[in-house]
């Protein structure tokens, strides 16, 4: 008679080679879902490693983007014709920077998660590699939600008020997380083959920041909207700007239109990222 331990032992997960290199998607997703608790605890450990469990660690996480916001406020706002009393513009910049930091953190930490090997876990276990970028995305979401609480006093001080568009913030958070996660998966694969990708990525993201309506209002390029919308983050952070502070120009891009473009972009990015990552995962152990 077989023991209960033998009859209840979970089946081993194996990847079967296919022409496309993709594993059976149902089995792959089910196995990744089994490690959701690991992703959550790994995220908690990551937050603790950032000294976020200390007072100064929590304060620095909030102050750092705010200080960058002040710098951009001086160079973009005042030199562009504003003044030190333009608190609404300051709130716009800081709020958008928090949203951008959420996105960029997912990309940079997720892209380097595979190469670092998470302290040797990749080479010593059969854990699906996608779980590690997933944990990075959870960490970024955790920090972003805390940042939103810190943004509230500045929002009130700037008199940006309450708007119906604020109800879209949870949906925008999901879309931003999907875009960041999808790009992180592609960059993680490239980083396995070209190890300097993780070093170049922050510079590319900074350039993308300057080209997107994060530290400048989306209304500044309405006359050249066709060109500006070639940047997929233009509708994304137009939507974030409207969600935080309402419509800046009734004749400008609408919230629903921006959300539609952002949703399409997020859908494409997450599918491409998932397929790229899953089809190359078998090579990670060899190349790491």
pTM, whole model, 2 decimals? Answer: 0.81
Least confident of 129-133, 239-243, 281-285: 281-285
Give yes or no for residue 9 having a pLDDT over 50.
no
Q: Are 212 and 231 in contact (CB under 8 A)?
A: yes
Q: Are 205 and 183 in contact (CB under 8 A)?
A: no
Q: For 190-223, write each residue's pLDDT tens digit.
A: 888 887 888 899 999 999 999 999 988 888 887 7
**pLDDT score recorded for residue 21:** 64
What is the pLDDT confidence band of residue 57, given thresholds at 50, 70 and 90?
low
125 contact partners, CB below 8 Å, separation of at least 6: none
Q: For 136-164, write each residue's pLDDT tens digit.
A: 888 888 888 888 888 888 888 888 888 89
Q: For 82-131, write each residue's pLDDT tens digit.
A: 555 578 888 888 899 999 999 999 999 888 877 665 544 555 556 777 88
Rounded to an integer, the average pLDDT of 48-61 is 67
Give Cα separations from 18 to 98, 178, 248 (angstroms). 42, 27, 51
Token pair, residue 10, equals 């979970």
**pLDDT score recorded for residue 3:** 46
**pLDDT score recorded for residue 8:** 47
CA–CA dist 237, 243 (Å, integer): 9
**pLDDT score recorded for residue 244:** 93
Where do the domains of the chain lie? 36-44+54-287
CA–CA dist 109, 262 (Å, integer): 22
Give Cα separations from 19 to 22, 141, 274 (angstroms). 8, 36, 17
Give yes or no for residue 54 having a pLDDT over 80.
no
**pLDDT score recorded for residue 5:** 45
Q: Are 193 and 114 in contact (CB under 8 A)?
A: no
């Amino acid at each position: 008679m077989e023991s209960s331990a033998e009859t209840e032992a979970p089946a081993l997960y194996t990847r079967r080679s296919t022409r496309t290199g993709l594993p059976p998607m149902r089995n792959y997703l089910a196995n990744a879902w089994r490690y959701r608790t690991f992703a959550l605890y790994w995220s908690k450990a990551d937050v603790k490693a950032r000294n976020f469990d200390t007072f100064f660690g929590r304060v620095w996480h909030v102050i750092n983007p705010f200080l960058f916001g002040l710098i951009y406020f001086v160079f973009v706002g005042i030199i562009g014709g504003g003044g030190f009393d333009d608190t609404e513009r300051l709130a716009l910049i800081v709020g958008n920077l928090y949203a951008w930091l959420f996105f960029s953190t997912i990309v940079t930490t997720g892209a380097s998660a595979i190469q670092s090997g998470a302290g040797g876990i990749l080479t010593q276990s059969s854990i699906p590699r996608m779980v590690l970028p997933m944990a990075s995305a959870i960490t970024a979401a955790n920090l972003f939600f805390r940042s939103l609480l810190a943004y509230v006093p500045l929002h009130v001080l700037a008199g940006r008020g309450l708007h119906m568009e604020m109800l879209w913030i949870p949906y925008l958070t999901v879309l931003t997380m999907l875009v960041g996660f999808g790009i992180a998966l592609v960059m993680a694969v490239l980083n396995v083959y070209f190890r300097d990708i993780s070093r170049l990525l922050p510079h590319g993201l900074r350039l993308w920041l300057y080209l997107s309506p994060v530290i400048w209002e989306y209304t500044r390029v309405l006359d050249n909207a066709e060109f500006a919308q070639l940047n997929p983050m233009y509708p994304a952070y137009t939507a974030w700007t409207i969600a935080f502070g309402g419509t800046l120009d009734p004749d400008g891009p609408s919230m629903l239109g921006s959300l539609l473009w952002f949703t399409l972009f997020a859908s494409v990015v997450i599918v491409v990222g998932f397929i790229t990552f899953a089809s190359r995962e078998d090579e990670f152990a060899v190349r790491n």
